[in-house]
Amino acid sequence: MDNSHFSEIVLDWFDQHGRKHLPWQQTKSAYNTWISEIMLQQTQVATVIPYYNAFMDRFPTVEALARAPIDEVLHHWTGLGYYARARNLHKAAKMVANEFNGDFPQDPHLLEQLPGIGRSTAAAVSSIAYGTKAAILDGNVKRVLARYFAVEGWPGNAQIAKRLWEHAESLTPDSRNADYTQAMMDLGATLCTRSKPRCSDCPISENCLALKIDRVSDFPGSKPKKEKPTKKTYMLLIKEGVQFLLEQRPAAGIWGGLWSFPEVADLRDIEAHWAVDQNRLEILEPFRHTFSHYHLEITPVVINADELCVDHVMEERTTLWYNSVQPSEVGLAAPVKTLIHTLSAADKER
């Protein structure tokens, strides 16, 4: 099959079966496409839709996003995870508003200069919003091409990625680029799925090498396994009535810029630094929160604020009292949101 025939078949399938009713497809713009593409990184469409709708209601334009406080942006991102995406989104919005007069550049190379936008995302925004001929290679497309061409190896490997990019560029047509980009993403998301691919419904299955050699499940190759280490921390749930003491985390690192409970590495640190008798602590069941590169074992420790001098201990930190009944619009780390909800619910039952 020549390259033009490949794109024709994919586009014919898209015309009949492609997704055309997603919220960000209803008003096509570089801003809408960009927001959706960033949200869809590492996140399923079904999860993204309500977040996207709420986000766009609050930040309908790139200027509105650029003007907003980062805390409010993180608040609307809470629950989506990978919070560096939200911080980069805010930085990029400021650059577009200030350096590009609020207009996203059409050139994918210029788009790549914005924080948080890589080669594939830049191509997706440019092709969908402006019809630019630009190849994409997101997770879905990597899977489609790795199977179609039976490309051995893990796509995270630079040499394997290079081969897949070459295939992606060679197949990208000269016209209908917005539709073709969406079609390739849809093909991977709806038919050429990671598990239980629907090969019998796939428009390009006739020439798929992985299917011909009966090895569809072997492609793409898996990332070499590496045992995740486990780290431990104690989260201090300092409460006063319906209020919880939170501190803002540093911009870099996990949960960067979000609000979280103060933490200590050892129970003895609570007595040493917070002057609270260990016998007066309410230690809850530990639970695990998993990041991409390690597990974090969290042990919640409930402390009544009247048992310590909060002002003295927290004087050099950025803190706030978070009211669980009338919550502030700030970004919360996922375990913090869960713990506040759990403790608040338990207090109501008492």
Q: What are 166's strand-pairing partners? A: none
- Please state, in angstroms and as integers, the Cα–Cα distance from residue 124 to each residue in 49, 128, 153, 269, following that order: 18, 6, 25, 49
Q: Look at the chain and count its residues.
A: 350
Round to whole Å and give the CA distance between 320 and 330: 10
End-to-end CA distance of the chain: 69
37 is a catalytic site residue: yes
Cβ contacts of residue 88 below 8 Å, gap of 6+? 38, 115, 116, 117
* Catalytic entry in 8, 37, 112, 307: 37
Q: Would you call 174 exposed, middle or buried from its count of C-beta atoms within 10 A (0-12, 13-18, 19+)?
A: exposed
Residue 87 CA, distance from chain mean position: 11
Pull the structure tokens for residue 234.
Answer: 């104690």
- Contact by Cβ (8 Å): 86, 55: no
Q: Which 3 state secondary structure label does DSSP give 306? A: helix
Pull the structure tokens for residue 312.
Answer: 């003295």
Say if strands 259-260 and 243-248 run parallel, antiparallel, or are unpaired: antiparallel
Say if strands 295-304 and 230-240 run parallel, antiparallel, or are unpaired: parallel
Percent helix / strand / coil, the chain, rounded to 5 = 50, 10, 35
**At what angle are helices 84-99 and 70-77 packed, to 10 degrees?**
130
Round to whole Å and give the CA distance between 95 and 268: 46
Q: What is the DSSP string of 165-190?
A: HHHHHHH--SS-HHHHHHHHHHIIII
- Contact by Cβ (8 Å): 13, 203: yes
Name the residues annotated as catalytic: 37
